[in-house]
Amino acid sequence: MSGTATNGRRVVVTGIGVVSPLAVGAELTWKRLIEGQSGIGRITHFDPSELPAQVAGQVPDGPTAEGGLTLSDWVPAKDQKKMDRFIHLGLAAAIQAVEDSGWMPEDEDGRCATGVMIGSGIGGLQTIYDASLTVSSGKARRLSPFFIPSALINLISGHLSIRYGFKGPNHAVVTACATGVHAIGDASRLIQYGDADVMVAGGAEAAICSLGIAGFCSARALSTGSNDDPTKASRPWDKDRDGFIMGEGAGVVVLEELEHAKRRGAKIYGEIGGYGLSGDAYHITAPAEGHNGAFRAMKAALRNSGGLTTADIDYVNAHGTSTMADDLELDAVERFFGDDAKRLAMSSTKSAIGHLLGAAGAVEAIFCLQAIRDGIVPPTLNLDNPARESVIDRVAHVAQQRKIDVALSNSFGFGGTNASIILKRFKD
């Protein structure tokens, strides 16, 4: 981004929160991820035996201290039934991020300069399903007054703003599986343009319900061949991959204008280094041959990076969903990096947690920040036999120690929407 509109305002990340199939908590999720653990198992949220896909990445229940979900630690009991599960998970991640950042505005100016932009790919699907049963059984007048606000995608933003009194921009992204990256990227721009000094941004998803799984099954998008061996089901780039594995959870970051963060002595995870968007204009669910849309999104992110080149990028967190489209992304990444592909590490963390749809991009951006901080590249599980060879190291099976200063994360969504975001080590 150049020109005067941004006044050179830089955006850093000062708080992170994750709810994933590996754990509730950003650091425990990361620890389990780099240990090579898998969060995929047989679906227990409902009985999946009628459906061809029966495995998913569900957020584990359990004590908060052990990385399980204890909902009452995040949402008061009397409010829980007024929100769909995607809002529960989104709030749990957002509260973590806000508390991690230590940012709590003390005056009205501070509250008005703090905004929220937490989206979802699908929203309250289970809530909509339940409500439709009420209506179809002739009880339309008995529909809960909380049905609509429970299902609406922007209500994570709404609830969070009410909880903390954040009165800045109140927004929510809905771009299917690109939601998380779009939310962080667009929220960063609101800070760059001075609409806010702090933005709480990310995505959440909870679509592991009969309607969600059946719908993606009908679209022939889910893996059906590993129902008896769930941890082997998600296998990006592997020749035996046969569809994605649905995951649920949320990822939320606190984005902050650099000088604002410095003034209050905030811990800085990294800087937003660039952000790019593109559209395929091709097909509602499939990317085009060569994945030109992915190529253009990465190119746009680099163009907005203030002078980075492909030689500066050390790690790519791929969209890599464990479908045939993995190789199209690989084509685009190889083409985009050219000779620099040889020194690149690229992994798909969906191999461990599944595809968190609207939360995926936000969780994966957080993994990039943790990879930069710790000098560790998370692995691609189950990459036993790559469907095709590549000069890019795809970090099969085990995590690698590697110095990472700049990472790029890709997310692509149904409708042909693509987004890439660059995270980089903060240097004053």
Binding site residues, other proteins, CB under 8 A: 76-78, 82, 141-142, 144-146, 149
> Catalytic one among 159, 217, 355, 368?
355
Query: Catalytic: 319?
Result: yes
DSSP for 44-63, written as a single string? -SS--TTSS--EEBPPPBS-
In the complex with other proteins, the residue whose CB is nearer, 45 or 82, is 82
Please, which residue, 80 or 210, has the CB nearer to other proteins?
Answer: 80
The Cα–Cα gap between 100 and 88 comes to 18
At residue 272, what are phi and psi to the nearest 5 degrees?
-75, 115
**C-alpha–C-alpha distance, residues 167 and 113, integer Å:** 7
Tally of CA atoms within 13 A in the half-sphere of 108 that contains its CB: 0
Q: Are 196 and 190 in contact (CB under 8 A)?
A: yes
Nearer to other proteins, 15 or 124 (CB): 124
Closer residue to other proteins, CB minimum distance, 80 or 285? 80
Name the active-site residue from 209, 260, 319, 368: 319
Based on C-alpha coordinates, what's the Rg of the chain?
20
Q: How far is the CB of 146 from other proteins (least distance, A)?
A: 6
- Phi, psi (degrees; rounded to nearest 5) at 269: -80, -30
Asked if residues 191 and 198 have their Cβ atoms less than 8 Å apart, the reply is yes
**CB 76 → other proteins: shortest distance, Å?**
7
Question: Is 355 annotated in the active site?
Answer: yes
Q: Angle CA(163)–CA(258)–CA(301) in degrees, nearest 5?
A: 95
For other proteins, which is the closer residue by CB, 80 or 227? 80
Q: CB of 149: closest distance to other proteins in angstroms?
A: 8
Least Å distance, CB 78 to other proteins, is 3
Least distance (Å) between residue 83 CB and other proteins = 12
Pinpoint the alpha helices (H) of 42-113.
77-80, 85-101, 108-112
368 noted as active-site residue = no
Marked catalytic residue, from 88, 159, 171, 177: 177
Catalytic residues: 177, 319, 355
